[in-house]
Structure 1
Amino acid sequence: MKLVMKIIISPAKKMVKTDSFLPRSQPVFLNKAEELIAFLRERDFEQLSEIWQASPAITREGQRQLADFNSAKATVPAIATYSGIQYQYMAADLFTERALDYSQQHLRILSGLYGVLRPFDAVCPYRLELKNKMIGFRDYSLYHFWGSLIHDELFKDDQVVINLASKEYARVVKPYLKSDERMITIDFLEKRAQGYKTIGTHAKMSRGEMTRFICENQIKTPEELQAFSDFSYKFDVSVSDDNTYVFKTDFDFKRK
């Protein structure tokens, strides 16, 4: 059966340099990333702090990243550079070779700077979120800057996208969905005293686990996702629909 899906995840603020993997490809929208970097390099400390909404220490680190940014010398792939909770639980360094190959073909990381990344695209550490206000730039909003480009790249070969990204990043895709395209958002709910709720940190952990589940099992259809059971999750067909898959659990995350 032909694989027909893409999977989207969010980036992480924290980025590290590692030699776990070597890059295999270049970002699709590298020219647009260079345009954003050129603009940010023209900003002074106070302007960058306002754009990034960052503390002085983080702004200084961001300035160092801007000074060091050199796409021609990027030697680390995206999948090994991001270091947030979702990436820790995805644990790409433990992927089989088949899972890594699958991820390069089907997994996509959304990015305020690069737009969309394949796991083995060579990247440089940077600081830029989609929600950042680009004060002084020709496009105040990065959502406007990217427009339909990210959507078009995701759906150019496939008609189904599995959304494991945050609302901030999924928002750059959703407005451009066509009637024959399907984006399935995955919701993770856990039992609390007030009922089933989404808990941010635990949802990030769960997105990472599901990403690994998809890649390791070479998932071919959305229906196969319903077998996901990490953290004792069960697919709840009664509250799910064609565009939203809801997984519920009674798992005690305090034990992790």
Structure 2
Amino acid sequence: MIVLLPPSETKRTGGDGPPLRLDTLSSPALTPLRQSLVDELVELAGDPPACRTALGLSAGQDAEIERNAALWRAPTMPAIERYTGVLYDALDVGSLRGAAVARARARLAVGSALFGLLRADDEVPAYRLSASSKLPGQPGLVKRWRPLLEPVLADLAAGELIVDLRSGSYAGLGRVAGAVRVQVLAEHPDGHRTVVSHFNKAHKGQLARALVSSRAEPNDAAAVATVARRAGMTVERVGDELTVVVPAG
């Protein structure tokens, strides 16, 4: 089983790994586009106004531009430690112990606008690029990633069940046929349900933690739902679609 996470805009700084080496990353079929995108971001960082426009940054976020300028020389750390924010706080990989650590390293992957697909131990620097970004003179990232990323994901799905927790924009970079997809809905006292916005990420992080903490090896959506329920979550299933139901408020 592979639990495919969205990335986060916020990332930890620093790291104690060597500078980025694309040839050490998983999914080498993605290397050519990774190379192009890193080079483009480094070049774009030399023009701060154009960089702010392309990446949707304010003048107060110029530290993000400096990160991109240093992509080839900055220190790295494992991808699963690089990303921060609500989902990753709920996942809390750092608090896992024993065999759960090894399962997290094996089962977790991250969809990335810059790297396409990262496994947990892939060493990467901090960067800024979102799925909606459009670099000057280039097609959008969906058009650039999808032809390369979808075959890689298809190969992965041929051997592993994929639980796809990515947001819509990142799922659009590379679709996965047959993946287990998850939505989070809030149930109100009168029984009607609404989409959970901000805390959607927290509940998906809790689900990811349950899946890497479990010794079970789910091979379909029903088995994923069983693991989630054992962790105290309320989950409904229709085919390959899971709905995590949480109280409103």
TM range (shorter): 0.7 to 0.9
TM-score norm. by structure 1 comes to: 0.82
**Deviation (angstroms), 1:247:** 2.1
Aligned to 1:196: 193
User: Alpha carbons of 1:8 and 1:117: their partners in 2 closer, same or farther (altered >3 Å)?
Assistant: same
Give the letter aligned to residue 65 of structure 1.
R
User: Alpha carbons of 1:27 and 1:157: their partners in 2 closer, same or farther (altered >3 Å)?
Assistant: closer
User: Could you tell which deviates more after superposition, 83-92 or 25-34?
Assistant: 25-34
Aligned to 1:169: 170
CA contact (8 A) 2:41 2:69 kept: no
Aligned to 1:206: 203
CA contact (8 A) 2:183 2:242 kept: yes
User: Alpha carbons of 1:56 and 1:20: their partners in 2 closer, same or farther (altered >3 Å)?
Assistant: same
Aligned to 2:234: 234
CA distance in 1 between partners of 2:39 and 2:90 (Å): 34
**Deviation (angstroms), 1:161:** 1.7
User: Alpha carbons of 1:75 and 1:53: their partners in 2 closer, same or farther (altered >3 Å)?
Assistant: closer
CA distance in 2 between partners of 1:213 and 1:64 (Å): 36
Q: What is the percentage of aligned positions where both structures have the same residue?
A: 17
Deviations 1:134-168 (A, max 9, x none): 2223xx21111112322222231434321111111
CA contact (8 A) 1:27 1:114 kept: no
Q: Secondary structure at the match of 1:134?
A: coil
Aligned to 2:105: 104
Aligned to 2:12: 16
User: Alpha carbons of 1:19 and 1:251: their partners in 2 closer, same or farther (altered >3 Å)?
Assistant: farther
Deviations 1:25-75 (A, max 9, x none): 6343344323112112222111111111110121x112211222126x643
User: Could you tell which deviates more after superposition, 156-165 or 202-211?
Assistant: 156-165
User: Alpha carbons of 1:53 and 1:231: their partners in 2 closer, same or farther (altered >3 Å)?
Assistant: farther
Give the letter aligned to residue 61 of structure 1.
A
User: Alpha carbons of 1:208 and 1:20: their partners in 2 closer, same or farther (altered >3 Å)?
Assistant: farther
Aligned to 1:114: 115
CA contact (8 A) 1:27 1:122 kept: no
Q: Secondary structure at the match of 1:155?
A: helix
Structural mapping, 1:77-156, within 5 Å: 77-137=78-138, 140-156=139-155
Aligned to 2:244: 247
CA contact (8 A) 2:6 2:166 kept: yes
CA contact (8 A) 1:184 1:245 kept: yes
Give the letter aligned to residue 48 of structure 1.
C
Aligned to 2:33: 32
CA contact (8 A) 1:17 1:76 kept: no
Give the letter aligned to residue 63 of structure 1.
I
CA distance in 2 between partners of 1:157 and 1:231 (Å): 26
Aligned to 1:225: 224
**Deviation (angstroms), 1:8:** 0.9
Q: Tell me how large the CA RMSD over aligned residues is.
A: 2.6
Match of 2:71 among 69, 72, 85: 69
**Deviation (angstroms), 1:112:** 0.3
CA distance in 2 between partners of 1:152 and 1:104 (Å): 23
